[in-house]
Amino acid sequence: MELQSIKNRFGIIGNSTALNHAISIAIQVAPTDLSVLISGESGVGKEVFSHIIHQLSLRKHNPFIAVNCGAIPEGTIDSELFGHEKGSFTGAHEARKGYFETVNGGTIFLDEISELPLGTQARLLRVLESKEYIRVGSSKVQKTDVRVIAASNVNLIDRVQVNRFREDLYYRLNTVPIKVPPLRERKEDISVLFRRFCIDFSEKYNSAPIQLDEEAKELLTSYNWNGNVRELKNMAEQISVLAKNKLVSAEELRSFIPGANHSNLPMLASANGGHVSEFSEREILYKVLFDMRNDINELKKAVYGLMPAEQFSNQNFIPASYTENSIPQQLQNEKAVMIDKNKSEPIVIEESLSLVEKEKELIGKALKKHRGRRRNAAKELGISERTLYRKIKDYNIPEGGF
């Protein structure tokens, strides 16, 4: 089947090599009954690939269902997937069929498969290997003929290594892997996608479609798009509604792009001594960490300056400012410096710059502050409650914080 006709049928826009390769694999595997694992960042459109596989398969006239595993509470997901018997748990007033029973003969798409509890993973493995399952609260083995397509926005191998995902299930799901590229690896598709979205929104809101000048197009293409196609589409809708001019300049576009107007971001020097407007995430991160370290050290100096030197006498350590030794100002700006009164050499104390440790520390403090109330802690941290729950499990943080 022609690649372009598939794109037109399923509304896929773009012509990057990585995208075309992913679509080609989906077309090839569709007529089989093999399990497929679709990987890619959030917002890249993984669910579209599940529809391609189902619609091009022999099961296309049978049911299809998409299940977001991360949106179903851990205590009820077994019942949702496999069904339950009457009285099997509190609130089970009648027997209920699960998805694997109602979609028998069709396809089930399990999105965010990494969020499945280990017990549910064992049940799913049995379905994949023997096409058998047991309802919650029952002892009767039932058969099902369902094709499983799974998707994940995290690296499942990493989850396997920390015993958060079953290795046998991973290899059973990963019979045919499909990698959907992030938008930043499809830069040639960004302008085309944006134009398509703007045309769609102009029809929706009965207005003329907006356009970008050349400088704005360059800004659009160079932006990182961490939210991928979903973020691009949302921004296109904002601009279509809120833009003052139908020909949007780079200056106006910056007001819609998060972080574009922050003056405290680093500026890279070009070869001719000028400045360039774009910089990598790594360089931004280095700048932020460097500024953070300096701020912490300045705070320490201020605190030490307010405390009497006798407080440090028991440990034979005092701040550098309390000694007669001359320490270069540059060294004091770079590291936290302490002087052992029994020695002449300064002791330099390195600060930890691990993002993981800092994130873990902040989450622990937020939970402690809000007495384990995840919703309040998540709100203060600026993340979703589900993301907070996942990080608590990843970092093995106590419920009450620390």
Spatial separation of the C-alpha atoms in residues 343 and 327, rounded to whole Å: 14
Predicted pLDDT at 252: 92
Evaluate whether residue 267 is within a structural domain.
no
Q: Are residues 174 and 220 in the same domain?
A: no
Local structure of residue 350 (DSSP, 8 states): P
- What span, in angstroms and rounded, lies between the C-alpha atoms of 200 and 113? 32
Domain that holds residue 151: 3-181
Three-state SS across 205-257? CCCCCCEECHHHHHHHHHCCCCCHHHHHHHHHHHHHHHCCCCEECHHHHHCCC
Name every residue whose Cβ is closer than 8 Å to that of residue 299 and which is 6 or more positions away in sequence: none
Tokens 């499942």: give the residue: 156
Specify the pairing of strand 211-212 against strand 176-179. unpaired
DSSP track, 18-29? HHHHHHHHHHHH
**In the beta sheet, which residues pair with residue 340?**
317
Q: How is residue 338 written in tokens?
A: 């302490």
18 burial type by CB count under 10 A (0-12 exposed, 13-18 middle, 19+ buried):
middle
pLDDT score at 372: 83
Q: Provide the pLDDT for residue 277.
A: 41
Q: Tell me, yes or no, whether 89 and 226 share the same domain.
A: no
Residue 56 vs residues 10, 27, 64, 144: alpha-carbon distances, Å: 11, 7, 12, 21
Q: What is the CA radius of gyration of the chain?
A: 28
pLDDT at 304: 55
On whether both 215 and 317 belong to a single domain, the answer is no
Judgement on whether residues 339 and 362 belong to the same structural domain of the protein: no
Q: Which residues have a Cβ under 8 Å from the Cβ of 52 and sit 6 or more positions away?
A: 6, 10, 23, 26, 27, 30
Q: Which two tokens stand for residue 348?
A: 């330099």
For residue 275, is it within any domain? Answer: no
Task: Note the helical H segments in 94-137.
Answer: 99-102, 118-130
Q: What is the DSSP letter of 116?
A: S
Residue 177's φ and ψ, nearest 5 degrees, are -90, 140
315 and 214 within one domain = no
**Which CATH number goes with the domain that contains 160?**
3.40.50.300
d(Cα 318, Cα 346) in Å, to the nearest integer?
A: 11
Residue 277 falls within a domain, yes or no?
no
Instruction: Classify 137 in phi/psi space as left (phi over 0), alpha (psi -120 to 50) or beta.
Output: left
Task: Identify the pLDDT of residue 163.
Answer: 94
Distance separating alpha carbons of residues 119 and 146, to the nearest angstrom: 20
Please check whether residues 308 and 359 belong to one and the same domain.
no
pLDDT of residue 313: 46
- 153 in the same domain as 203: no
Structure confidence at residue 316 (pLDDT): 47
Q: Is residue 30 part of a domain?
A: yes
What does the pLDDT read at residue 270?
A: 44
What pLDDT is stored for residue 298 in this prediction? Answer: 67
Tokens 């209920």 belong to residue: 96
**Does 133 fall in a domain?**
yes
Listed in order, strand segments (DSSP E) in 58-175 are: 64-68, 107-111, 132-134, 141-143, 147-152
In a domain, 104, yes or no: yes
Domain's final residue, options 120, 154, 181: 181
In a domain, 48, yes or no: yes
Is residue 140 domain-shared with residue 106, that is, in the same domain? yes
In order along its 402 residues, the chain shows pLDDT tens digits of 689 999 999 999 999 999 999 999 999 999 999 999 999 999 999 999 999 999 999 999 999 999 999 999 988 999 999 999 988 888 888 989 999 999 999 999 999 999 999 999 999 999 999 999 999 999 999 999 999 999 999 999 999 999 999 999 999 999 999 999 999 999 999 999 999 999 999 999 999 999 999 999 999 999 999 999 999 999 999 999 999 889 999 999 999 987 655 433 344 444 444 444 444 555 556 566 666 766 776 676 666 555 554 554 444 444 444 444 444 444 444 444 454 445 545 555 555 667 777 888 888 888 888 888 888 888 888 888 888 888 888 888 887 777
Which pLDDT score, from 0 to 100, does residue 74 have? Answer: 87
Asked, for residue 261, whether it belongs to a domain, the answer is: no
**Could you give phi then psi for residue 94, rounded to 5 degrees?**
-155, 160
| CATH for 200 | 1.10.8.60
Shared domain for 54 and 155, answered yes or no, is yes
Do 118 and 167 have their domain in common? yes
Residues 169 and 194 placed together within one structural domain of the fold: no
Could you say which DSSP state residue 180 is in?
P
* Domain count within the chain: 4
CATH code at position 362: 1.10.10
One domain for residues 34 and 157: yes
